Amino acid sequence: MRFATIIENGHASVALIRDRRLLPLAIPDAGLDSVRSIAASGAEGLQRVREWVRRQPQGRYRSIDDLELGPAVPDPGAVYTIGLNYAAPGEADGARPQRPLVYAKHPTSVTGHDSVVTWDRSLTANVDAESELAVVIGEAALAVASEDAMEHVFGYTCLNDMSSRDPWLDGDQWLLGKSLAGFCPVGPWVVTRDEVAPEDLRLGCTVNGVTIQDDSTAHMRYSIADLISYISRHTVLRPGDLIATGTPARLAGPMGPERHLQPGDVVTVWVERIGELTTTIG
């Protein structure tokens, strides 16, 4: 199943996505009124959603173009980001860090598909987009073994880990440099784990139609199970938390590595079998 957060009359609610149509969820007395609450509900909650959806007439579906999409998970308790998690072509064994490098974005930085992101350029002038496969946590995880970790995954979504490259933020104030308002576009929806195998998905990023990233999750240095196990040894992962699993290297292309985001840029982050997440830079 695919779940999105929709915005209507300033109010956020959850909808099921099917093709280019959506079905707003209104399940009586179930408390399944957000992506995060569905993630927390486990297999029983998903079954209640399936049974309710099966009973709905086709006339209740609406065009996806009729409504604004909010952040796929608008209220994550935590957003973890992983550094240096993609292998370089032809790198030697042992090149990966000795342990996953875990950073963070503040949850208030999340925004949705087709959002416009702007910021005070006096704080940072050099900001890049980064395509990442994001894991949405389902069942809470504390000190889980790698072999059990995938049971704690609710689903997957696309995440643009927008990050400052200015030296006083990049490597000095990581949290601030990654957490300006809008610096965490998430979406367009969450695909539940039974719908997709994450081990070999192409992912990438374009700016104004020019490809700046194109790689595969098969090149992750630490697997999703490894990341969940490692993070859960140190802190509790809760339903709706996000883990951005790392970003591939930027391609040597027409834009070059020194070309950062400019007003008017249209950024599209995509992950195979999940979707495309578009952001306009204001």
Confidence label for 239 from pLDDT (cuts 50, 70 and 90): very high
The reply to whether 130 and 17 lie within a common domain is no
3-state secondary structure of 22: strand
Q: Is 74 within the bounds of a domain?
A: no
Confidence label for 225 from pLDDT (cuts 50, 70 and 90): very high
Q: How many CB atoms lie within 10 A of CB 51?
A: 10
* Segments in 17-90 forming alpha helices (H): 35-40, 42-54
Q: Which residue has the tokens 């990654």?
A: 178
The reply to whether 60 and 129 lie within a common domain is no
Question: Of 69, 92, 125, at which residue does a domain stop?
Answer: 69
Beta bridge partners of residue 271, listed in sequence order: 203, 275
Q: Is 120 within the bounds of a domain?
A: yes
Count CA within 13 A, CB hemisphere, residue 46.
Answer: 15
Quote the radius of gyration of the chain (alpha carbons, Å): 18
The reply to whether 17 and 120 lie within a common domain is no
Q: Please give the pLDDT value at position 189.
A: 98
The reply to whether 211 and 95 lie within a common domain is yes
Check whether 94 has a pLDDT greater than 80. Answer: no
* CA–CA gap between residue 117 and residue 114 (Å, rounded): 10
Please give the structure tokens belonging to residue 72: 């796929």
Q: Please give the pLDDT value at position 92.
A: 75
Q: Please give the pLDDT value at position 253.
A: 82
Q: Is 253 within the bounds of a domain?
A: yes
Question: Of 37, 69, 101, at which residue does a domain stop?
Answer: 69
- Summarize pLDDT for 36-47 with one digit per residue, the tens: 999 999 999 999
Q: What percent of the chain is predicted at pLDDT more than 70?
A: 100
Q: Is 96 within the bounds of a domain?
A: yes
- Summarize pLDDT for 76-90 with one digit per residue, the tens: 999 999 999 999 877
The reply to whether 93 and 183 lie within a common domain is yes
The reply to whether 107 and 166 lie within a common domain is yes
The reply to whether 44 and 87 lie within a common domain is no
Confidence label for 255 from pLDDT (cuts 50, 70 and 90): confident
Exposed e or buried b per residue across 256-271, where buried means at least 16 C-beta atoms within 10 angstroms of its C-beta: eeebbbeeebebbbbb
Q: Is 108 within the bounds of a domain?
A: yes
Question: Of 39, 69, 99, at which residue does a domain stop?
Answer: 69
Q: The domain containing residue 141 runs over which residues?
A: 79-281
Mean pLDDT across the stretch 41-57?
96
Number of domains in the chain: 2
Q: Is 49 within the bounds of a domain?
A: yes
3-state secondary structure of 247: coil
Q: For 25, list phi and psi in degrees, rounded to 5.
A: -85, 130
Confidence label for 123 from pLDDT (cuts 50, 70 and 90): very high
The reply to whether 57 and 104 lie within a common domain is no
Q: Please give the pLDDT value at position 179.
A: 97
Mean pLDDT across the stretch 32-56?
96
The reply to whether 116 and 209 lie within a common domain is yes
**Residues recorded for the chain:** 282
Give me the CATH number covering residue 136: 3.90.850.10
The reply to whether 193 and 124 lie within a common domain is yes
**169: amino acid identity, one letter:** L
The reply to whether 255 and 166 lie within a common domain is yes
Chain-wide mean pLDDT for the chain?
Answer: 95
What are the angstrom distances between the C-alpha of 167 and each of 16, 109, 125, 138, 171? 42, 20, 11, 36, 7
Q: Is 250 within the bounds of a domain?
A: yes
The reply to whether 95 and 24 lie within a common domain is no
